[in-house]
Structure 1
Amino acid sequence: MNREWIEVKVITKSEAIEPITGIFYSLDVKGVAIEDPNDITERPSGPFTWDYADYNIFEYGNEAAIVKAYFSNEDNLEEIIRFIDTKLAELRDMGIDIGMGKILSNKVLEQDWANAWKKYYKTTKIGNNIIIKPRWEEYTPKQNEIVVELDPGMAFGTGTHETTMMCIEFLEKYIKEEDRVFDIGTGSGILAIVAAKLGASEVIGVDLDEVAVDAAKINVQYNKTKNVKIIHGNLVDVVEGRADVVVANIIADVVIYLSSFIGNYINDNGLFISSGIIKDKKQEVEEALKQNGFKIKDVNEKGEWVAIVAQK
């Protein structure tokens, strides 16, 4: 059934994508899509398609990024927009450059927002040997390449965003065979699947978003990574025991919050890989990690983003 949904979008800048995505996920959102000019590997020719209708550079400028969220027709649109507007003001007060910060809404059909963007999502190599391949593309792997086949659906995590890239690079650098891994906010399941294909013995991905959980489970099944388990819920409620590596590609404020207790879920000398951190928050995140008993082991930056590896 081609169901109708309410689409709410925020016209912003790349550095504000993660916190704005966090705003949407604090609501009863049914899916989130991101259009980031820094991630586009192939631009459409000719007239703009539906997926790029908002990327008219004459209207928004060539640095505009868009975060779209999809809500049920029964949701209170006015209340949703008021909440988003308040939260955007808070981001401005925190010094985050949200660009236009313009909120728009309209109604869309499910088949449009679920599928139209796929032709612009291309095979990408990350790190030394990791290949992220859309399921609908053909690719012949070269020697030693590890291929992850992905259909993110409406879940965050195609591999093309700097935050995801840095997490993948750190997983490739630090994962050892037989490691147990927790992926917090697993999204499409991309990091969980990468960890498993790098040799981790057990990987648990958790997410509060049911849309993401469904997408991740499908991707896990498609990649035949039988040692990956995807769970709906909060880490502290649904996961038992400790991991050798915990990875969280979320936002800086959530990383700071996690730092206060995540050590309870990490083995001695284990690693906490975090990303989704804008540069302005780097020092604050590092200080929080140190205050909670972690040592900063590695740091990487791409664009406006930072990823940190902390050791317990």
Structure 2
Amino acid sequence: MGEGQRHAPPAHWWRLRVSASAAVREGLSNLLLDLGAQGLWEEDQAANVSLTAFFPSIANPSFLHRTVSNYLRSLAELGFDIGSSWLEVHPWKEEGKRPEANPFPPLPVGRRLTIVTPGEIYKGQPGEVIVEIEPGQAFGTGRHPTTTLALRFLERWVRGGEKVLDLGTGSGILAIAAAKLGAGRVVAVEIDPRAAEIARENSKRNRVKVEVVEGNLTQVPPGWFQLLVTNLTSAEIAPLLPDLGSRLSPPEGMAFVSGLLRSEVGWFRELAQGYQLGIREMEWEGEWAGMGMAAVGGKSASLLRP
């Protein structure tokens, strides 16, 4: 990474404004932060909440608009009341203030991983694993707690040569990290065609081989995986639980779910155990939880982090 130019200051920012029912405030806020929002303001409007998020100029406004629109649509299809919603994305420039040289500085994760933006001059230490991700293009900048939990899981368990499956890869950050940590084969699944293409581009940028599959778990080639990682919401993960155990290599294959709120851990644990998935580890980051699961018959609980 010692070559190249430092990230240029953004000529402008993208301002995204969305209004929806206050009932979906938390989910929307987390979505915008995971997309790389550098500022987020909330304003209550009767039964609705208005959220304003700012993204650097390198973000893709079409992707931002499409992703938030699809998220609201999916909530409505699941029966959530999204209220009278509207969404807009426009260029925005803050007059009289000098923008930061790089709104996404290098981000250390765990003991060895560091996430940087392309073009950033960063000299890593011996043994450090550097992952380049362009923010604002797809889910997964490394700066949301759920992504951090999943990255730390991979750092703990990728020892070299494993087969790894990343469900809902988004930007590809987890799959790329697994490959750079030494996994032997990495398969990344993404249902959004544009995000799948971005994951391929990021894999090439990081000079790693990741098999990106456009679709869902049913499109994944047959076979077992030693590690499966997914950074999806509990509502998205729950329907996948019946099939997860069959994709884990016995007896030590493990799946890690990182999109859980602390308040969801209890019922999700019971649901997983009902599908013969035993809990091997738990890790917490603020209000978020990561859960490592293995098919019953694998090793018992080995790592619990307060």
What is the TM-score with the length of structure 1 in the denominator?
0.71
Count of residues in correspondence between the two structures: 257
> Displacement of 1:8 after TM fit?
7.1
Q: Is the alpha carbon distance of 1:293 and 1:221 closer, same or farther for their aligned partners in structure 2, counting shifts above 3 Å?
A: same
Q: Which residue of 2 aligns with 1:240?
A: 222
Query: Paired residue for 1:9?
Result: 18
Distance in structure 1 (CA, Å) of the matches to 2:100 and 2:214: 26
Counterparts of 1:1-312 in structure 2, within 5 Å, are: 9-10=18-19, 15-17=26-28, 34-35=32-33, 55-56=40-41, 59=43, 69-71=64-66, 83=73, 86=76, 90=80, 103-106=85-88, 108=90, 119-226=102-209, 228-268=210-250, 269-312=252-295
The answer for unaligned runs of 5 or more in structure 2 is: 1-15, 46-50, 55-62, 92-98, 296-306
Question: What residue number does 2:5 align with?
Answer: none
In structure 2, give the amino acid aligned to 1:214: E
After TM superposition, the runs of 4+ consecutive aligned structure 1 residues lying more than 6 A away are 11-14
Which letter does structure 2 place at the counterpart of 1:239?
P
Residues 133 and 149 in structure 1, CA contact (< 8 A), matched pair in contact too = yes
User: Take 2:147 and 2:186, find their aligned partners in 1: how far apart are those partners?
Assistant: 17
Following superposition, the deviation at residue 91 of structure 1 comes to: 7.0
- Distance between the aligned counterparts of 1:310 and 1:248, measured in 2? 12
C-alpha deviation, 1:237, in angstroms: 2.1
Contact 1:150 1:190 (C-alpha < 8 Å) held by counterparts: yes
Deviation at 1:154, TM superposition (A): 2.1
* 8 Å Cα contact 1:252-1:277 kept in structure 2: yes
Name the % identity: 27
Q: Which ranges in structure 1 are unaligned for 5 or more consecutive residues? A: 1-6, 22-33, 44-51, 93-100, 110-115
C-alpha deviation, 1:176, in angstroms: 2.3
* 1:179 Cα offset (Å): 0.5
Partner of 1:28: none
- Shift in alpha-carbon separation, 1:65–1:124, aligned structure 2, 3 A: farther
1:237-275 CA-to-partner distances (Å, cap 9, x unmatched) read 232211111111101122222111111111112000111
| CA–CA separation in structure 1 for the residues paired with 2:201 and 2:264 | 34
Question: In 2, distance between residues paired with 1:290 and 1:106?
Answer: 42
Give, as a single letter, the amino acid of the residue that structure 2 aligns with 1:288.
L
**RMSD (Å), alpha carbons:** 3.6
State the Cα deviation string for residues 153-208 of structure 1 (Å, max 9, x = none): 52100000000000000111112211100000000000001111111100000100
Distance of 1:170 and 1:135 partners within structure 2:
24
CA contact (8 A) 1:207 1:213 kept: yes
CA contact (8 A) 2:245 2:294 kept: no
- Secondary structure at the aligned position of 1:236 is classed as helix
Q: CA-to-partner distance for each residue in 1:88-136, whole Å, 9 max, x for gaps?
A: 97279xxxxxxxx883323647xxxxxx999422210000110001113
SS at match of 1:70: helix
Q: Higher helix share goes to which structure?
A: 1
What's the secondary structure of 1:276's corresponding residue?
strand
Paired with 1:190 and 1:152, the residues of 2 have a C-alpha distance of: 11
The CA distance in 1 between the partners of 2:235 and 2:204, in whole Å, is 32
Return the offset for 1:143.
2.3
The alignment partner of 1:243 has SS state of: coil
Say whether the 8 Å CA contact 2:33–2:144 is kept in structure 1.
Answer: no
Moved more, 291-300 or 83-92: 83-92
Instruction: Provide the rounded CA distance (Å) in 1 between the counterparts of 2:112 and 2:52.
Output: 29
